[in-house]
Amino acid sequence: MKKKIMSLFLCVTLVFGLAACGSASDGEQSSVDAGKEKSSSTESGSNKNLQTDVTTTNLVLDRSDEPIASYEPKEDSYYIYCTYKLVHAWYDTIKIGVDKAVEEYAEQGIEIKLDWNAPTEPSGEDQVNRIEAGIAKNPDVIAVDLSDPELAVSAINESEDAGIPVLLYASADEAPEAGCKRTAFIGTNDNVGDAEALTAEICKAIDDEGQIAILSGTIGAANHELRLDGFDSELAKHPNIEVVDSQRDEDFVEKATQITETFIQKYPDLKAILCNNMSNPVGAAVAVKDAGKTGEILIGAYDHDRRTLEALKEGVIYCSVIQNCIDMGYWMVKTAVMMADGLEPGADTYPEVYDTGSTIIFQDDADEWIQKLYAES
């Protein structure tokens, strides 16, 4: 059974070879793309905690009837400065969509210079510094996946005031109502609803009673906090379920494993673990499987790490929320070009807020997703 939040699955065309990816690593990632020419550097990065090798660039969302699909850029060169929370496999999948858009523009004779950079550990202060560094470079657009929205607002507004529009993308929006002058947002825009849906599936699977624990990611990360809100709001509807513990892995798989091992030892009657980021379920699955608790402790997961999908296939993970990361990257670039050309959000241009959506998948969906994302079963 699937809960469809957005319609998924166009036919898959495999066009990339192995795309090496990572997680929070020991080295900073920065790259600048210009058309089809790319250069990147990673300083002493092992990227050992998370790895994906996504091989497909098929887009899920059909936007053929929208103005953005047929828009013809006014210039022959654009500079997009893009920063995000941390070096992490999740963003490598977004980058596949980014690269697809960049290559399409290159085929039209349009150069996209992309400054793609992030720290190895999430930091709101670091992100503010990166946004300010981006402003100094005077790009056409600054794109940001927020680490700490409250801290970042002043830098975002500084950019907008300087005439450099800001496109928020991927994880969470910070709307004008919160004092943020950002021009637009594209990405997963219903983190609360997604988390509520995941929680409802887990509650149903454990017959609406028993003990559960919560694993989350980084303190202050807007999407992680919103998902915790979604867990709480749905759990309030299930009075016979007790949340016995809640811990954060700070986006590290090894820490998620250690926390889950403690959960298992401390709460022998534990029935389920709710996860809210990409590293949580990978680490939790290792601990649950090693403890011989497969099927006894259910895991509600997030995202498409290869190991998550394999654990889903084995039944160690019960279900997972999958986001449309490739679409995020692709349409982020397309939107940024329209913003750089001076267009404001609207019915004849692009949406101010565009939700790329997600879906919940189960064990019988795992092979299909492994095939779609990794080209093998």
Percent of the chain predicted with pLDDT > 90: 68
3-class secondary structure for 213-241?
EEEECCCCCHHHHHHHHHHHHHHCCCCCE
In contact, 171 and 146? CB cutoff 8 Å? yes
Identify the pLDDT of residue 277. Answer: 93
Dmax (CA) of the chain:
63
Q: Domain-by-domain residue ranges, the chain?
A: 3-187+332-357, 191-302
Coil, strand or helix at 211:
strand
Give the whole-angstrom CA distance, residue 274 versus residue 264.
14
End-to-end CA distance of the chain: 20
Instruction: Answer whether residue 262 shows pLDDT above 90.
Output: yes
Q: How far apart are CA 187 and CA 167, in angstroms?
A: 11
Alpha carbon separation from 254 to 138, 218, 335 (Å, rounded): 39, 14, 37
Looking up tokens 């300083």 gives 43
Say yes or no: do domains 3-187+332-357 and 191-302 share a fold.
Answer: yes
Please name every residue paired with 114 in a beta bridge, in sequence order, or none if there are none: 33, 80
Cα–Cα dist 184/64, whole Å: 20
Average pLDDT, the chain: 86
pLDDT given at position 33: 54
- Residue 295's SS3 state is coil
pLDDT level of residue 11 (50, 70, 90 thresholds): very low
Say which CATH superfamily domain 191-302 falls into: Response regulator (3.40.50.2300)
DSSP state letters, 343-365: PPSSTTS--SEEE--EEEEEGGG
Class of domain 3-187+332-357: alpha beta
Share of the chain above pLDDT 70, in %: 85
Q: List the Cα angle 366/371/376 in 5-degree steps.
A: 115
Q: In the chain, at which residue ranges do the beta strands (DSSP E only) sit? A: 3-4, 29-34, 37-42, 77-83, 111-118, 141-144, 166-170, 184-187, 210-216, 241-248, 270-275, 298-302, 319-323, 353-355, 358-362
Per DSSP, the three-state class of 373 is helix
pLDDT of residue 47: 33
Bridge partners of 301?
320
Backbone angles phi, psi at 45, to 5 degrees: -95, 125
pLDDT of the residue at 175: 73
User: What pLDDT, in 10s, does the model give residues 284-297?
Assistant: 999 999 999 999 99
